[in-house]
Chain A
Amino acid sequence: MADSVSLTIDGQPVSVESGTTLMKAAQQIGVDIPTICWHQATTSNALCRICVVEVEGQRLLQPACIVKAAQDMKVQTLSERVLRARRTILEMLASTMDLSEAPAILTMMKEYGANAGRFPEAERRESEIKDDNPMYIRDYSKCLLCWRCVQVCADDAQYVNAINFNGRGFETQIGTFFDKSIPETTCVLCGQCVGVCPTGALKPKREYLLEQGMKPEEISVMNTGRKKRKN
């Protein structure tokens, strides 16, 4: 039996197994800390910082997804600094990318009073849809760089390393070796990247075509049609 530690979260005492993250500890007492990049199947990189909380004695806000609960810790999950950080991050996201298919984030924006139009004349990350393989489409206008797709493509799951990053900073975008199309890469169309994408940036091709107004029978005809042309 692992040691347990006692701490308070928003004034409520809680005891958890040592090694538990603040996020999990908070869940035990019904305190919900928002997350964007966190996913149970991928390594936590603490990069979206939406889960930051204020820990007494710490100069900086701490990411609850990876910081471990410690004895006598005093955690505030809704302090003014926390709220400012969450709201501003959400406002910057809204000014940067298309969140229309990220309902969880849109809900979060309402909850934190984030104004989608906060940043006027803001450069957005826009991109044409990449439709280059039979299985999924890539719409990086919707990508919020949670890294999950890159992680499952690499050591977190599939080990094919078909995708990585282009550029850096605000200009970062997920990309392939010299921007090759997916069939020209080491991609095996396992679909795990599509499964972990939180914003619809990666989407099954069939779903995409249905959204474009195609009927299921048209889509299947399209597929068989391709095979027929080959003969």
Chain B
Amino acid sequence: MSDIDTSPSLSARLAPLQSAIEPYLPLGRSGLLPALHAAQKIYGWISEPVAAEIAKSLRVPLADVHGVIEFYTLFYNEPVGKRFIRVCTDQACALKDADGLLNHLCAHHGIKASETTADRRVTIEASPCLGLCEQAPAILYGDEAETNVNLKTGSYELGRPRSIVYGQIRLLTANCGNGTTTSLTNYGEYVALKKALLMKPEEVINEVKSSGLVGRGGAAFPTGVKWDGTAKAAGSPKYVVCNADESEPGTFKDRVLLLDDPHRVIEGMAIAAYAIGASKGFIYVRGEYPYILPVLENALSEARQAGYLNEDFDIEIRLGAGAYICGEETALFESIEGKRGFPRVKPPFPTTFGVFGKPTVINNVETLCNVPLIISKGSAEYREIGTEKSPGPKLFCVSGDVIKPGVYEVPFGVTLRELLNMAGGPSTSLRTNQKKLQAVLFGGAAGAFATPTHLDVKLTFEDLRAAGLPLGSGVVMVFDERRDMRDSLARLGHFFAHESCGKCYPCQMGTQRQMEILNRIAAGKMQAGDLERLQDVGWTMTDASLCGLGQTAASAVLSAVKLWPELFKDEGGRMKDEVLMGNKKKNEMRKTQNVKSKAKKAKANTQDAKRKVQKVKAKTVAKKKSSRKTASRR
């Protein structure tokens, strides 16, 4: 290495890096992710001398820097293309032929997924959910969102993604859906913060407690109790963290809130900071939302100029780098600290041992957006919205087979039928021109499936719990009768195998085995005993995993096993279409036979292509991540 280090060309090449990472030097290890992002902005990827320079500058061991690069899928330690095309292939986009889009783009550039063109101009990757589900199929093109891509017409939208907002009320989304970011001038004064500052911190906490607000990120923990615990915890400084690592497949509400109304989030954080005595805040935004960064930075500087953020409390943005697990609160802390996003063992909980080991309140974006509402209205008036046990407004992310996908703001208590009718089907009214409803994925990949029998379930925490459905992060992904649920399950399986951090055994190996079995089922190649294997693996992950990811990685699959046992019964290699078509009318079959056989062929081709892509991907990953796989092939 010494000869490399002294080469004058190298030091010239490292000069822009040194000045780019200078602001992060005081952060030490915590500056690692920002520094790696900065390096990638300059060089496109992170080479060995660049990683070594960062390690030296931030005083992080070399192996640890490498370990961090290896953990996050948006960091590259091998050369990649100048332009990055990431095609979402998760459920919502898959319903809009994301596979076809990916294949088309690959063919167009003459490469396979996870490959770079020879001239290093383009790299194409299949991506986990990009949070653009209501505008599927979607691509992240460089740092821009490319949505509603239509191969037939050649049309697409590029740039800042649209915010599509519907519903019965507009409280959280009052400033959303206008096509622009609400500036501080338009947002107005932080009225709720001003009101809170006239109250005692414990009065603010009590107001939040009596509002009945619970977390909107998925875990539904009472927000006031969290704040109280952190306020009373010994240790300083204290932190407020906004979890904007929105990565649950099918979830996109936080993207809309942050892009259209960032001041509401900032005001919520400032109120939380006052209530618990925090001096510092972080907004951790998922790496797949790079276009939110400038919007947030601008809003923060507006808030600073207006004096809402000051030396008593200020906020720093952190950008993730492609790791669903970092939405888990303790993994998110580790990531802010510049480490691999491994979830920690709990207890201790964030209230006493959060980021940097200090008492921390961590809340989801939507949760924080409720706070200004609660303080300015007062908890009593706030509780008039929704039901007694689930007070307040709720955002649902409706995607899939509906006419009007988007963010729906409703009071807790509307039924699934009402929500779907607002979104225009499918099917709840059995209108002749619409397909029938087959299933709804509730709460995201970590959620569970509902069927038409659940249409009259009220969307509240208590009613959903009674129906065995998780509210999760508010995902309502709709599948009509045409859909192959096994394909959807296989995508779930792939998602969790891709996103498992690898720390605890049940999830590390269980997500892999689950994916393998689900792939067999989707391919109509189920083996004897696969259903039992799937359930043993599923329950072991659910019961014994270390964190919420593993504990819910089988949740949707196990719900499908209960709802549709017939999907898991083709041991002996029966063709899957036989089973699938069992539910459909025979004359319908005859009518569309020609079309179907064509479609079937096309599908088989896509699936072949998909499998090939997966293989290639595995190969490339192996090449990138270690020499292990290639070595074993030799």
The proximity string for B residues 510-529 relative to A, scoring 1 for CB distances below 8 Å and 0 otherwise, is 11110010001000000100
A95 to B543 alpha-carbon distance, docked (Å): 20
A185 to B540 alpha-carbon distance, docked (Å): 38
What is the distance, in angstroms, from A133's C-beta to the closest C-beta of chain B? 15
The proximity string for B residues 493-516 relative to A, scoring 1 for CB distances below 8 Å and 0 otherwise, is 000011111111110111111001
Residues of B within 8 A of A66 (CB): 345
Residues of A within 8 A of B10 (CB): none
Q: Are B626 and A95 in contact (CB under 8 A)?
A: no
Residues of A within 8 A of B184 (CB): none
**Which one of A93, A171, A175, A184 contacts B66 once the chains associate, using CB atoms below 8 Å?**
A175
**B537 interface residue (CB < 8 Å to A):** yes
Residues of A within 8 A of B632 (CB): 126-128
Q: Are A93 and B516 in contact (CB under 8 A)?
A: no
**Count the A residues whose beta carbon is within 8 Å of the partner chain — how many?**
57
Q: Are A177 and B501 in contact (CB under 8 A)?
A: no
Closest B residue to A141 by beta carbon equals B632
Residues of A within 8 A of B505 (CB): 36, 47-50, 89, 92-93, 144-145
Decide yes or no: A88 and B498 within 8 Å by CB, A45-B503, A47-B504, A173-B628 being known contacts.
no
Q: Are A168 and B502 in contact (CB under 8 A)?
A: yes
Residues of A within 8 A of B621 (CB): 167, 171
Decide yes or no: A49 and B63 within 8 Å by CB, A85-B506, A122-B513, A169-B500 being known contacts.
no
Residues of A within 8 A of B497 (CB): 169-170
What is the distance, in angstroms, from A158's C-beta to the closest C-beta of chain B? 12
Q: Are B634 and A171 in contact (CB under 8 A)?
A: no
What is the distance, in angstroms, from A151's C-beta to the closest C-beta of chain B? 13
**B412 interface residue (CB < 8 Å to A):** no
Q: Are A84 and B631 in contact (CB under 8 A)?
A: no
Residues of A within 8 A of B501 (CB): 168-169
Closest A residue to B62 by beta carbon equals A177
Residues of A within 8 A of B544 (CB): 49, 52, 60-61, 85, 89
**Which one of A36, A84, A177 contacts B63 once the chains associate, using CB atoms below 8 Å?**
A177
What is the distance, in angstroms, from A38's C-beta to the closest C-beta of chain B? 13
Q: Are B512 and A169 in contact (CB under 8 A)?
A: yes
Q: Are A84 and B66 in contact (CB under 8 A)?
A: no
Residues of A within 8 A of B1 (CB): 184
Decide yes or no: A161 and B631 within 8 Å by CB, A49-B545, A84-B540 being known contacts.
no
The proximity string for B residues 33-68 relative to A, scoring 1 for CB distances below 8 Å and 0 otherwise, is 000000000000000100110000000011111110
Q: Are A176 and B63 in contact (CB under 8 A)?
A: yes
The proximity string for A residues 150-182 relative to B, scoring 1 for CB distances below 8 Å and 0 otherwise, is 000010000001111111111111011111000
Within 8 A of A (CB), among B481-500: 497-500
Residues of A within 8 A of B52 (CB): 177
**A140 interface residue (CB < 8 Å to B):** yes
Q: Are A167 and B70 in contact (CB under 8 A)?
A: yes
**B622 interface residue (CB < 8 Å to A):** yes
**A225 interface residue (CB < 8 Å to B):** no
The proximity string for A residues 185-200 relative to B, scoring 1 for CB distances below 8 Å and 0 otherwise, is 1100000000000000
**Is chain B's binding surface mostly helix, strand, loop or mixed?**
helix
Decide yes or no: A168 and B70 within 8 Å by CB, A125-B628, A126-B628 being known contacts.
yes
What is the distance, in angstroms, from B53's C-beta to the closest C-beta of chain A? 13
Closest B residue to A54 by beta carbon equals B543
Q: Are B546 and A167 in contact (CB under 8 A)?
A: no
**A121 interface residue (CB < 8 Å to B):** yes
Residues of A within 8 A of B340 (CB): 165, 168
**A119 interface residue (CB < 8 Å to B):** yes
Q: Are A170 and B509 in contact (CB under 8 A)?
A: yes
Closest A residue to B550 by beta carbon equals A49
Within 8 A of B (CB), among A123-145: 123, 125-128, 140, 144-145
Q: Are A60 and B543 in contact (CB under 8 A)?
A: yes
**A203 interface residue (CB < 8 Å to B):** no
A36 to B508 alpha-carbon distance, docked (Å): 15
What is the distance, in angstroms, from A185's C-beta to the closest C-beta of chain B? 7
The proximity string for B residues 589-633 relative to A, scoring 1 for CB distances below 8 Å and 0 otherwise, is 000000000000000000000000000000001100111110110
Within 8 A of A (CB), among B75-124: 77
Measured as residues with beta carbon below 8 angstroms from the partner, the interface class of chain B is 35 or more
**Is chain A's binding surface mostly helix, strand, loop or mixed?**
loop
A134 to B497 alpha-carbon distance, docked (Å): 37
Residues of A within 8 A of B63 (CB): 161-164, 175-177, 185-186
Q: Are A85 and B533 in contact (CB under 8 A)?
A: no
**A46 interface residue (CB < 8 Å to B):** yes
The proximity string for B residues 429-447 relative to A, scoring 1 for CB distances below 8 Å and 0 otherwise, is 0000000000000000000
Within 8 A of A (CB), among B278-331: 323
**B71 interface residue (CB < 8 Å to A):** yes
**B479 interface residue (CB < 8 Å to A):** no
Closest A residue to B55 by beta carbon equals A177
Closest B residue to A125 by beta carbon equals B628
**B274 interface residue (CB < 8 Å to A):** no
**B127 interface residue (CB < 8 Å to A):** no
What is the distance, in angstroms, from B427's C-beta to the closest C-beta of chain A? 35
**B536 interface residue (CB < 8 Å to A):** yes
**A120 interface residue (CB < 8 Å to B):** yes
Residues of A within 8 A of B379 (CB): none
**A81 interface residue (CB < 8 Å to B):** yes
A127 to B51 alpha-carbon distance, docked (Å): 25
A89 to B622 alpha-carbon distance, docked (Å): 24
Decide yes or no: A88 and B511 within 8 Å by CB, A161-B64, A169-B497 being known contacts.
no
Residues of B within 8 A of A39 (CB): none
Q: Are B628 and A140 in contact (CB under 8 A)?
A: yes
**A77 interface residue (CB < 8 Å to B):** no
A48 to B502 alpha-carbon distance, docked (Å): 11
What is the distance, in angstroms, from A165's C-beta to the closest C-beta of chain B? 5
Q: Are B504 and A49 in contact (CB under 8 A)?
A: yes
Closest B residue to A170 by beta carbon equals B512
A172 to B345 alpha-carbon distance, docked (Å): 19
What is the distance, in angstroms, from B94's C-beta to the closest C-beta of chain A? 21
**B190 interface residue (CB < 8 Å to A):** no
Residues of A within 8 A of B62 (CB): 161, 177, 185-186
**Which one of A48, A50, A92, A128 contacts B537 once the chains associate, using CB atoms below 8 Å?**
A92
**B539 interface residue (CB < 8 Å to A):** yes
Q: Are B504 and A166 in contact (CB under 8 A)?
A: no
Closest B residue to A36 by beta carbon equals B505
Which of B527, B537, B622, B628 neighbours the largest number of chain A CB atoms within 10 Å of its CB? B628
A134 to B622 alpha-carbon distance, docked (Å): 27
A35 to B499 alpha-carbon distance, docked (Å): 26
Closest B residue to A166 by beta carbon equals B626
Q: Are A49 and B502 in contact (CB under 8 A)?
A: no
**Which one of A92, A95, A170, A175 contacts B502 once the chains associate, using CB atoms below 8 Å?**
A170
What is the distance, in angstroms, from A217's C-beta to the closest C-beta of chain B? 32
Nearest first, the 10 A-B pairs at minimum CB distance are: A164-B67, A161-B61, A172-B502, A170-B512, A169-B500, A167-B625, A177-B62, A92-B509, A126-B632, A164-B63
What are 10 A-to-B residue pairs whose CB atoms are below 8 Å?
Answer: A47-B503, A61-B543, A92-B506, A122-B512, A122-B516, A161-B62, A169-B511, A172-B502, A176-B63, A177-B63
Q: A45-B345, A175-B67, A176-B66 are in contact. List 15 more A-B contacts (CB 8 A).
A: A50-B505, A84-B536, A87-B536, A161-B62, A164-B61, A164-B64, A164-B67, A167-B625, A168-B340, A169-B501, A170-B502, A171-B502, A177-B65, A179-B627, A185-B62
